[in-house]
Structure 1
Amino acid sequence: MRILHIAPHLGGGVGKAHATVTEAERQGGTSIRRSYLLLEAPRDKTYAERIRANGCELHVTPDPVTIARLAAEADIVQIEWWNHPRLYGLLASETLPALRLVIWTHISGLAAPLIPRRLVEAADHVLFTSPCSLDAPNLQAAIRARPGAIGVANSGFGFDGVVRGERSPGAPLRCGYIGTLDFVKLHPRLFDFLDAVESPISVGLWGQYDPQGPVAVGAAAMRRPGRVRFEGYADDPARVLSDLDLFIYLLAPGHYGTGENALVEAMSAGCVPVVWGNAAEAAIVSDGETGRVVRSGEEFIATIAELSAAPARLARLSAAARIEATRRHSPAATAQVLADAYRTAMSSAKQRRPFREILGLDARAWFESSLADWMSEGAVRLVASLAAAKGSLAHFRACFPSDPSLAGWRPASVQAGGCSPVRSSGSLMTRFGA
């Protein structure tokens, strides 16, 4: 069976998920041949090279004729979906021929950015990366109409055999975070909460960040800024996590994440997670059993004090987190879910999909379709972000600098029931915004 994956790139959690699944398939034996079509050249080639080493073909930024040929030769085309501008550009260009369509979504869709309902309806099979997406408000009718065509395939996998570092009795809790250091994802009051903790703690933050940006400014404004350290990129996250007691995973309400790869990795290393009570995190962490789920700053502060004073409880949570990460987040299980989805999709004939009608004609329509009510927290972050990343308005403008529909535009008002997408006409960008 020949599967063509179309993805903007293979970085971060998506790249790791596919590298891990293809390694599991290679070890277990498979009749599936996977090819990957990337709409951007990889910045970090680590996962792309691992995927290639597993016997998969990679096609980086091919021309439209090659894209059409690859899609026609495949038994199934799988779209790795998140609201990346180049995905919209490719689909709306109507380059793709008749195909069988599987979609694996890598955003939750619970808040902006939304998963387009009509895209879900047009697919032969749809897989979410978390069961929390089954509650996405705009997808309820589509899910009820075709329950057999909807499933969940975990995309977050942990580490095997991490050896925990020794913890000195009475030592301050070693806390940390690995991931996106941007308030697009982090809770806006993270540093207020860390500052208010009375227990002695040290907090390491691993990830790329702007030394002059809002995150750095927020940390510097703390009364006790010395308790937070910016550690840079984590070259060996398993080693970093093995030395931490707590994984401080306080993400913004309404964030776009779903599989939460970093969270699963932390649990697999026995690092006890303390997470904000968003749906995606609460679907992974069982409060009081495999970590703690907090819903206020006061609850976070009390939780840190409690765990500081109870090393035996901390050890029990650590052991339970490791067991749960292994039990629920297996790459072999995800590979089986994908294979089952392919068998379902193969019962359908190839057909053309009206992507332009589904998504709109220009970049403004594509961006607006992801917002719903743009005054929601998630939508405001996408509109206001100055970083050309993660499906923000700035990202769309960077990918489609000549699209007149985006020139000087911002959502102007909130209408009853949310922001109504304006599907204005406009030329599609050559080579999908390149």
Structure 2
Amino acid sequence: MKILHIIPRWIGGGPERHIIELARQDQLTNANVNRRALVLDRPLSAPLLVKARRFGLVLVSSPWAEAMEAEIDAADIVEITYWNHPLLLELLACSLPPARVIIRSAVAGHTIPQVLFPELTFYPDVWQLSAPQGYGAPHIERSHSWVEFLPALAEIDRLENFRFRKHDGIRAAYLGSLTPSKIHPLFPEIVAMLDGNIKVDIVGDGDEVSTGNLRRRFDELGVSEKVIFHGHVENIAEVLATADIFIYPLNPESYATSEKALQEAMWLGLAPVMMTGTAAAGWIASGKTGLVASDPQGFADSVNLLAREEKLRIEIGSAARKFARDRFDPGVNAKTNQEIYERLISMPKRTRAPLQSQDWTVAEKFCNSLGLDRVSFIHRLEQAGNASPESNFMLLKSEGGLMHYRNHYPSDLDLPNWISVLTKAVE
């Protein structure tokens, strides 16, 4: 069975690691699957390129149009990893060869700019939504005839032989990106509200500006001594071995779905704390498999409660571990994925209409990617002063946002004007 993955980039995030884990599971089960991946944008992560090759996954980087058509034509199934990216939408605006298509959404799909816009609904034969059911894009759940809810596969193998280590005090661990599009803007303020015996391990990296801003804010609040920055760590078991609580304060506008960091922490039996507003929080039954707060103060109170109440912390951690083993087992989920392939391959390939017109302007393409027309988007810009700072930031600077499209289409005249309007609102 020939599976062709199409993914916007290959730089080390969860969607890329999901595909690699699928390939690893193929080897473990001797599945008769040949996987190739078209990577539309550069650069490529060298470590992930090597890891892909180790499991027989072939990457085709920045392919020409003719090469993409040939790859699609040769595949039994085309699996598109979707998030708003100009190169991916350019591809979907083309007349492509007949194919059996899965769209695996790497985003929840309900927050700008990472929207699963209505025209996408009937493009694939199968939708795979990585957010929990009831979170994200209700029009797809309601309208499409074949929707699967399947969390992304985590690399649980890197947690083998894990053992907790004794340590002084209480340690809370955050694992993830430090960019503003991921982490809650009031994360330093949350840390400042934690009890004095709680240390916070921050595992992950971000751009120099984002990391510098975080460090500076911790200094201003006088809590730098409570925080340990570990940077990017591949061997996360080493850091989590001294954790008591897993904290995951995401940006409320985050498009997070089945976060691997959350899966891995719950798998180990760490009690997680999150905030409402993101689809990823839907994996937690608050009070049972974790605590979900409604605001930063409630988040800090939840962490403090778990720090003080060891019995509660152990009970929730144990329940989180059981849930993770039931829902996040990569072997079980890979088997489900294979069953989807086997059902789909019995169906004929079909052609599908391009998602966007080749005659559209860049501005029209961008607005359509948000599920809006030009007039509606301009109205959204005019109301930017009333929108949350997080929402404006995501629209301006996150992947799929105005600056991303401007960088891809530098000669367009509308995008710089819109960026100027939104920048003033953010300031």
TM-score range, shorter-chain basis? 0.7 to 0.9
For 2:101, the equivalent position in structure 1 comes to 101
Q: Are 1:401 and 2:410 matched, yes or no?
A: yes
Aligned CA distance change for structure 1 residues 220 and 61 (closer, same or farther; 3 Å)? same
Name stretches of at least 5 consecutive residues in structure 2 with no aligned partner: 423-427
For 1:4, the equivalent position in structure 2 comes to 4
With 259-268 and 46-55 compared, the bigger mean Cα shift is at 46-55
SS of 1:221's equivalent in the other structure is helix
User: 1:358 Cα deviation (Å)?
Assistant: 7.1
Given residue 399 of structure 1, which amino acid in structure 2 is its aligned partner? Answer: H
SS of 1:204's equivalent in the other structure is strand
Match runs of 1:262-301 below 5 Å: 262-301=261-300
User: Relative CO higher for 1 or 2, CA cutoff 8 Å, sep ≥ 6?
Assistant: 1
Equivalent residue in structure 1 for 2:180, among 179, 183, 187: 183
User: 1:381 Cα deviation (Å)?
Assistant: 2.2
Match runs of 1:20-419 below 5 Å: 20-92=21-93, 94=94, 96-112=96-112, 113-132=114-133, 134-136=134-136, 139-140=138-139, 142-147=140-145, 149-157=146-154, 159=156, 160-168=159-167, 171-213=168-210, 214-357=213-356, 361-371=360-370, 374=380, 375=384, 377=388, 379-385=391-397, 390-410=399-419
SS of 1:104's equivalent in the other structure is strand
User: 1:362 Cα deviation (Å)?
Assistant: 4.2
Q: Tell whether the 8 Å contact from 1:158 to 1:326 is kept in structure 2 after alignment.
A: no
Given residue 196 of structure 1, which amino acid in structure 2 is its aligned partner? Answer: M
Given residue 81 of structure 1, which amino acid in structure 2 is its aligned partner? Answer: Y
* Whole-angstrom CA distance in 2 between matches of 1:220 and 1:45: 35
Equivalent residue pairs, number = 403
* Whole-angstrom CA distance in 1 between matches of 2:27 and 2:270: 30
Q: Tell whether the 8 Å contact from 2:27 to 2:55 is kept in structure 1 after alignment.
A: yes
With 51-60 and 75-84 compared, the bigger mean Cα shift is at 51-60
* Whole-angstrom CA distance in 1 between matches of 2:228 and 2:310: 24
TM-score (norm 1): 0.84
SS of 1:274's equivalent in the other structure is strand
TM-score (norm 2): 0.86
Q: Tell whether the 8 Å contact from 1:247 to 1:271 is kept in structure 2 after alignment.
A: yes
* Whole-angstrom CA distance in 2 between matches of 1:81 and 1:205: 29
SS of 2:221's equivalent in the other structure is coil
Given residue 13 of structure 1, which amino acid in structure 2 is its aligned partner? Answer: G
Q: What is the aligned-residue identity percentage?
A: 26
With 269-278 and 19-28 compared, the bigger mean Cα shift is at 269-278
* Whole-angstrom CA distance in 1 between matches of 2:392 and 2:21: 34
Aligned CA distance change for structure 1 residues 224 and 6 (closer, same or farther; 3 Å)? same
* Whole-angstrom CA distance in 1 between matches of 2:209 and 2:280: 29
Aligned CA distance change for structure 1 residues 218 and 364 (closer, same or farther; 3 Å)? farther
Q: What does the per-residue CA deviation read over 1:61-101, in whole Å, with 9 as the maximum and x for residues that have no partner?
A: 12111111111111221111011222112222x16322221
* Whole-angstrom CA distance in 2 between matches of 1:174 and 1:279: 24
Aligned CA distance change for structure 1 residues 349 and 158 (closer, same or farther; 3 Å)? closer
* Whole-angstrom CA distance in 1 between matches of 2:161 and 2:219: 33
User: 1:53 Cα deviation (Å)?
Assistant: 2.1
For 2:425, the equivalent position in structure 1 comes to none
Kindly report the root-mean-square deviation, in angstroms, between the aligned alpha carbons of the 2 structures.
Answer: 2.6
User: 1:211 Cα deviation (Å)?
Assistant: 4.4
